[in-house]
Amino acid sequence: MISKQHVNTLLPDLQSLSKLLNCGGDESSSSDDELPKTGYNTAGPGDIFQKVKITGNEVGHNINTISDDPKSIWHLSEVQEVPISDDVLWDPREKPKYDIMYKQALKSEDIYLQMSNKNPTSASCENLIITVTMKGECKNVIDCNVTRTNLDIRSPMYRLNLPLPHPIDPDSATAEWHSSSCQLIISLQMKREYDFMNF
């Protein structure tokens, strides 16, 4: 049995639900009346219960707001993030020649017994090897930055900004300089979405 106190607490919610379901106000059942009238403020699901405002301090953290500049044309959230290498289009330095190769780590069970799911396609490769030829440069003046999706190489004579074909692990990247051929060989371990199926 429902107590009178329990009914009194549910009454405002039931009245709000009744207002939500009866948006026209009259009792006719015509399908034209079911459409909301223009200029009429309709109620939604959020209007059933009483609104409670929760501040950030009640949740357990502080809310940091970005102060708006009244003279700014755009809000900070509307401005797209500019990549680090946006200046590569106007850079007068030469773009070096480069090669991209895939590398597999094979074991005897992969070659002779064929016990793993590896195959000769690039889907079964673990590493991406990039060879950059930079004639006339030395190891001391080359700056190489690797991110998850981008490779950026700078030197006094050359500039290379290369979007990578697959996401990689920047922490496991290695670079080796061959002074006899003036080549920088960069080994990058790929971190693709479905690698667990290919290894």
> What are the tens digits of pLDDT across the range 96-138?
999 999 998 888 877 777 777 777 888 788 899 999 999 999 9
Kindly list the distances between the CA atom of residue 102 and the CA atoms of 30, 49, 127, 172, 184, in Å, as whole numbers in the listed order: 68, 59, 6, 16, 16
Question: How do residues 128-171 score in pLDDT, each as one tens digit?
Answer: 999 999 999 999 999 999 988 899 999 999 999 999 999 999 99
CA dist., res. 140 & res. 103, Å (int): 28
| pTM (two decimals) | 0.55
Q: What's the pLDDT tens digit per position in 5-53?
A: 766 777 788 888 888 777 655 555 555 555 555 544 566 666 666 665 6
DSSP helix, strand, coil percent of the chain (3-state; round to 5): 25, 25, 50
Comparing CA positions, the residue from 8, 4, 36 lying closest to residue 23 is 36
Give the pLDDT confidence of 43-56 residue by residue, as tens digits.
666 666 666 565 55
